Amino acid sequence: MANIYIEQAKLKYKNGLYSLGDYDKHGQRVNIEIELHGIGSAKGKTSYIKSGWMERDNGLITLATPAAGFTRSKEERK
């Protein structure tokens, strides 16, 4: 699952598909939506998770909060 987060985050960050959070002494906070596709009985369903990242001085992002909630309501996820 870590690879799913990293690959999606890199791609979405590169393409500007994120929102900015606060900026503090640790760096710029970046919110990126991660899509997790269901398997087994959840096949065909997708969960959209808000993940929190930090943009470092060197331009790289690091994962700070893997799951900060859902980005879409149940109705939107259908």
Which ranges in 1-78 belong to alpha helices (H)? Answer: 2-14, 74-77
Output the six-digit token pair for 71: 């980005």
Contact indicator for 50, 69 with CB cutoff of 8 Å: yes
CA distance 8 to 74: 22
Distance CA 71, CA 51 (A): 9
Residue range(s) defining the domain that contains residue 71: 2-77
Q: Which amino acid, one-letter code, is at 49?
A: I
Q: What is the pLDDT along the chain (78 residues), one digit of tens a residue?
A: 788 889 999 999 999 999 999 998 888 999 999 999 999 998 988 999 999 999 988 888 999 999 988 988 766 655
- How many domains are there within the chain? 1
Report pLDDT for 32: 97
